[in-house]
């Protein structure tokens, strides 16, 4: 009976070691699941960025309105039939 208990304990210890410490262990599975969830989040944000860029490209291909809007916002350009006015505060004024 004693030999049976010792053998059973040794087999149980061996199985626990394989379960927790080898290449296909639970620790490795948990690490891989965490890596998958992180990569899924990165992919989701990149897909969102790609969608926005695709919409911008389509908008730029369709007409001049998007190019004009971008030139006004990013480059400060003014149309040929427009007048640019810049209002500056008086020197004595403080903001």
37-67 tens-digit pLDDT = 999 999 999 999 999 999 888 888 887 887 7
CB of 26 within 8 A of CB of 20? yes
**pTM of the prediction?**
0.50
Residue pLDDT, tens place only, 24-35: 778 888 889 999
Q: Where are the domains of the chain?
A: 2-75
Q: Which residues contact 77 (CB under 8 A, 6 or more apart)?
A: 71
């Amino acid at each position: 009976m004693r030999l049976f208990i010792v053998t059973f304990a040794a087999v149980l210890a061996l199985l626990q070691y394989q379960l927790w410490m080898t290449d296909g262990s639970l620790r490795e599975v948990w690490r891989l699941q965490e890596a998958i969830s992180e990569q899924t989040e990165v992919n989701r944000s990149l897909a969102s960025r790609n969608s926005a860029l695709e919409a911008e490209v389509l908008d730029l291909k369709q007409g001049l309105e998007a190019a004009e809007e971008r030139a006004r916002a990013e480059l400060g350009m003014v149309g040929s039939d427009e007048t640019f006015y810049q209002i500056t505060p008086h020197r004595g004024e403080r903001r």
